[in-house]
A and B are shown apart, each in its own frame.
Chain A
Amino acid sequence: ELKVEQNPLFLSMQEGKNYTIYCNYSTTSDRLYWYRQDPGKSLESLFVLLSNGAVKQEGRLMASLDTKARLSTLHITAAVHDLSATYFCAGASGGGADGLTFGKGTHLIIQP
């Protein structure tokens, strides 16, 4: 059974700083996803990582995947207040279009 652990679960940081959110998973996962959720809203897809060494970047966010270490990271560069949200990573243990197993989420607050 796939288990996904994120850390930290809560993070308060100042604008302009850099930080990394970590996502460890317990068994082989074909794909690793990152989602963003604003309070009271649904999930917005940020990145889909498909292979070892995959790196994707969008604005101030960069995600990477190390399948050997069973680790994905979400790096925030020069944080701005608008990035305050809860970030989830999720994996899929089976092939194909299987349901996802989510971590508990990282609640990120970026203060001016």
Chain B
Amino acid sequence: GAGVSQTPSNKVTEKGKYVELRCDPISGHTALYWYRQSLGQGPEFLIYFQGTGAADDSGLPNDRFFAVRPEGSVSTLKIQRTERGDSAVYLCASSLGQGLAGGFEQFFGPGTRLTVL
């Protein structure tokens, strides 16, 4: 079956602009996660959704970052007034989010490489 997909694969924007990054999780996965990975580092947790609601947004760095998942499937990560320090690869993952403990295994998408000039 199809894995996690993310669009766009690359996004170049100018400082101060607004961007939206999209994630389409594996069908039937109720949990969806956003991470940010800087060069040479491990992924850093941003936010996780269980269904439509944000269950934990403690990783969002500031109020310029916001994410939604209105119908419990596709999610959009929104970044306002982008800064050069926002440049990174933004990864989305999904999991079954319930049932046996193995249902919490997270499957990652290919990522969106964001470059802020």
Contact = CB atoms under 8 A, between A and B. Distances in A.
How many interface residues does chain A have, given as a range? 20 to 34
A42 B106 contact: no
Interface string A22-50: 00000000110101000001111100101
B111 interface: yes
Nearest to A89: B42
Contact of B50 (A30, A43, A97): A97
A65 to B, nearest CB: 13
A45 B106 contact: yes
Interface residues of B, number: 33
Given A98-B56, A101-B45, A42 B104 contact: no
Contacts of A102: 42-44
Q: Which of A88, A96, A103: most chain B CB closer than 10 A?
A: A96
A99 interface: yes
Given A48-B104, A90-B43, A96-B97, 11 more contacts: A31-B101, A33-B105, A45-B107, A48-B102, A88-B43, A97-B48, A97-B55, A99-B47, A99-B56, A100-B35, A104-B42
A76 B108 CA distance: 23
Interface string B74-106: 000000000000000001010101100111111
Contacts of A101: 45
A42 B93 CA distance: 10
A25 to B, nearest CB: 13
B41 A100 contact: no
Contact of A97 (B35, B46, B95): B95
Nearest to A43: B108
A105 B42 contact: yes
A42 B37 CA distance: 10
